[in-house]
A = this chain, B = another copy of it.
Amino acid sequence: MADINSNAKNGASGGGETASGAPPTGDGSAVKDPIWDIIELLFFAYRDFVGDPDEVLSKLAFGRAHHRVVHFVKRNPGMKVADLLDILNITKQSLGRVLKQLVDQGYIVQKEGAQDRRQRLLYVTPKGEALSLQLAQLQTERIKRAFGELGPGAHEAARRFLTAMIDGDNREGVLRQIARADRAQSRS
């Protein structure tokens, strides 16, 4: 919500480019002045970041959707299909398409739930884990390079920034998921 859109209604009015009829804040910046640099840096940084795995994926005739599935299953072994849908925020039909390929080609297996036999719990196979790690390492190289260029504390600063950028609603769940996955990894 937060429909703070008073600015956008000047469609017929302001002939020129004088976009800043914004109230001053004392420090010279308007309340609603867009933070252009972060908006654009995020765009370019994320584009490069998600592009790293593309070459490997395309050799397998996979796309980014396959990457996301393998990634989260590797991180959350034994997760329910419904949980994966929640994380990815897509429909079961969309998931089904890529999941079927990953299962057919031996990257992921589904096991009947022990207590609830309707569930098809998801696990990566060794092959799936290897792929997941290979892709994660490509992205990790970029992150490590970045942290290397910045001073110490860069990791912590990045973590805090990114966490603060997540919706308040999701934030707790995301952090819980990461913590749980980290524990699972260390036990494997």
Query: Which residues of A are at the interface with B, using a C-beta cutoff of 8 A?
Result: 1-19, 32-49, 56, 68, 71, 74-75, 77-79, 89, 114-115, 123-127, 129-131, 133-134, 136-137, 139-147, 149-150, 154-155, 157-167, 170, 174, 177-178, 180-185, 187-188
A-B complex: 5 closest residue pairs judged by Cβ atoms: A16-B130, A11-B126, A8-B134, A17-B188, A146-B164
- The winner among A1, A47, A149, A166 for most chain B CB atoms within 10 A is A166
**CB-CB under 8 A for A126 and B8, given A39-B136, A137-B34:** yes
The CA of A33 and the CA of B137, in the complex, are separated in Å by: 7
* Oligomer: number of copies: 2
CA distance A131 to B109 in the complex (A): 46
State whether A127 and B11 are in contact (beta carbons under 8 Å apart), knowing that A4-B187, A161-B158 are contacts in the complex.
Answer: yes
A35 with B161: in contact, given A130-B7, A130-B17, A166-B48 (CB under 8 Å)?
Answer: no
